[in-house]
Amino acid sequence: KAIGMWIYGDNSKNLLRLRFADATGQTFQPSGTAMAWKGWRYVEFVLDGAESGHWGGANDGVVHYPIRWDSLLLIDGMRIEKGPLEMAVTAPMLIW
């Protein structure tokens, strides 16, 4: 159903996403949330394909199980400022 994880955010507004592929080779990239907080927060990503971009394989937007992980976490850079950022991820949990 979903994967949840604790993320230490840096208030950078960068988008958090992940990527997985289904049995047909179709890749899904669920829409994430902007890292608009500083400190720890629990974040969940739904794995049913409903809120995901998708391409390749069957390319029908339907998740054909089993799935395999491509990227457990992606960070899409949205911020304009320069300089170092700090973030951390811990305790990924599958929810079914």
Residue 17 is predicted with a pLDDT of 93
Phi-psi region of 56 (alpha: psi -120 to 50; beta: other; left: phi over 0): left
**Helix and strand counts by DSSP (H, E) for the chain:** 0, 7
Give residues with Cβ within 8 angstroms of 82, minimum separation 6.
Answer: none
Residue 12 is predicted with a pLDDT of 86
Residue 81 is predicted with a pLDDT of 65
Question: Can you give the pLDDT of all 96 residues of the chain as single tens digits?
Answer: 899 999 999 888 889 999 999 999 999 999 888 999 999 999 999 999 988 999 999 999 999 999 999 999 998 887 666 767 788 888 899 998
What CA–CA distances, in Å, run from 48 to 11, 23, 80, 94? 28, 14, 32, 13
